[in-house]
Amino acid sequence: MQKKSFVYLSLPVVTCVTLGCTSINPKLGMRDVNQHIHDRIQKNVHQYKNMTISKTSKQFYTNSNVPLTLDEIIEVALQNSSSIQLYLNELNISQSDLIQAKSIKNPILEAEVIFPTKKKIGKTEYEISLSQNIGDLFQRAARIKSAKGSIEKTKLHIINRILKRITEIKIAFYTYQCAIQKNTFQQSAYSTLEATLTLAKEQRKAGNINNLDISQYQKLFQIAKLDLDKDHAAMAIAKFKLINLIGLTNNTDTLSIVPTLPKLPREDPELKTLKSNVSQHNLDLAVSEKNILASKSNLVLAQSQWLPEFHLGVKSEWNSDGELFIGPTASIGLPFFGSNKAAVFRAKTELRKQRWEQNTVRSKAQTKLRLFYTELQLARKAVELYERSILPAEKKILDESLKHYNYMLLGNFHLLEAKKNQMLSKRDHIDALKEYWVARAKLEGLIGEKFSHVKQIIPKQATATEQSAPTHQH
């Protein structure tokens, strides 16, 4: 009978111990993150335990003979960037919080041994008790709900940071492409001016041009040389930024990308459509919504913490006559000096703050949308104007100036000005094209989705006559 009573009294404690046993799944939530990333950009992200470069990024990185496209650069970043791996590890931290929320406090085992003061008076007595904080069970559901809300918030936070990193990579990629194009063009212009200056020096010796003409040639040549040095520096800086973002730090000289910016797409989405997409798919708004839900769960948890500690258990005692006594035990903490009012006040304040934060995020998203869309349209108009009017006009002006110069109807100064203006227009056209793709990348990052898949074609190397300005010769 005593054994059966001991078993019955021990059941609550055994149940608590069973509920407190939890396991850790390292892949918890990672599948959702990867699926979300794949749905938005059609790419997969993986979490690595070891700090090593993945096989795919090694393959891309070492095969330097083939320039990498933007999609391949993003693929390398997703598999190799230490920053992205850092974001993914936040999920494991949130998982540990969930494990902690599911667990309950360990049971307390107490033992007492009482020795008689005189051997002849009595015998040694033994007491053993096992108790569990039952009050902790009442808060367990609220803790689990709060921890799960924290995991969902962390998932979206990680996805948001990864997509923002991809937006930064896109901008860095287009900036590097722009720097390569401008450097290639400037190198061609520099070579042309160098040949022109050499010819001018020969003409000066022959007496065909004066000192003023040769000084103008020398000035233009030195300006071109300075611009070429600036372009070299800009290209090196852009390359370093891109390498840093994708996480490649060794043998950076071997990195090669598609050297020219993509052409303008036929059309852009309408602003009305983008507004709808921002409201539905903007991750900052989604994160703010999860923050509100998490704050609500934290408030429920704080409100449930008014219960004091309440211990139930079983106790057995062997008296000096060898008789065994078994019975239940109970103890409760008296809430004289503690209160949950501060925790509840803090949780309510945090919830109110998150609601205001959501309004701010929504307003910022709409403002950024209008700003980025204006930049996109302005850049498109600039590129179309250069390609349709300005560049053809500059070429025609230079060709006509060369004809007039050859017939001695135009001075040397005007010919140099025509060449200089054409060079500046071509550089401005490259900058305008870059600004378009940067604005497009910002819009896609704001919406969290790509407008459409832009397939980049590796262009053939332009010939020397295509890259250089026309030369003249008497």
In 3D, which of 225, 174, 130, 135 has the Cα closest to residue 444? 174
**Residue 75: inside a domain:** yes
Helix axes 135-206, 283-303, angle to 10 degrees: 160
Q: Which residues contact 227 (CB under 8 A, 6 or more apart)?
A: 186, 190
Name the residue with higher pLDDT: 430 or 450: 430
Confidence band of 466 (pLDDT split at 50, 70, 90): very low
Average pLDDT for 81-98? 80
**Residue 359: inside a domain:** yes
Average pLDDT for 145-170? 86
Q: Which long-range contacts does 21-27 make (Cβ < 8 Å, 24+ apart)? A: 21/103, 22/99, 22/102, 22/103, 24/95, 24/96, 24/99, 25/95, 26/92, 26/95
Beta bridge partners of 326: 316
pTM of the model: 0.77
Residue 367 sits in a domain of what CATH number? 1.20.1600.10
**Residue 462: inside a domain:** no
Residue 112 DSSP SS3: strand
CA neighbours within 13 Å on the CB side: how many for 465? 0
Beta bridge partners of 318: 126, 324
Question: Which of 267-276, 385-394, 447-456 is least confident?
Answer: 447-456
The total number of structural domains in the chain stands at: 1
Average pLDDT for 357-363? 88
Name the residue with higher pLDDT: 172 or 470: 172
What per-residue confidence (pLDDT) applies to 378?
Answer: 95
Name the residue with higher pLDDT: 180 or 304: 180
What per-residue confidence (pLDDT) applies to 49?
Answer: 67
Nearest-angstrom CA–CA distance, 235 and 255:
13
pLDDT at residue 339 tops 50: yes
Task: Dump pLDDT digits (tens) for 191-241.
Answer: 877 887 787 788 778 777 778 778 877 888 888 889 889 999 999 999 999
**Residue 52: inside a domain:** yes
Burial (0-12, 13-18, 19+ Cβ within 10 Å), 360: exposed
**Residue 467: inside a domain:** no
Task: Dump pLDDT digits (tens) for 108-128.
Answer: 888 877 777 666 566 777 788
Neighbouring C-beta atoms of residue 83, cutoff 10 Å: 16
Domain encompassing residue 143: 2-451
In terms of phi and psi (left: phi > 0; alpha: psi -120 to 50; beta: otherwise), the region of 149 is: alpha
CA neighbours within 13 Å on the CB side: how many for 294? 21
What per-residue confidence (pLDDT) applies to 283?
Answer: 82
Nearest-angstrom CA–CA distance, 322 and 17:
30
What per-residue confidence (pLDDT) applies to 438?
Answer: 95
**Residue 465: inside a domain:** no
pLDDT at residue 187 tops 50: yes
**Residue 151: inside a domain:** yes
Residue 310 DSSP SS3: strand
**Residue 158: inside a domain:** yes
Nearest-angstrom CA–CA distance, 201 and 192:
14
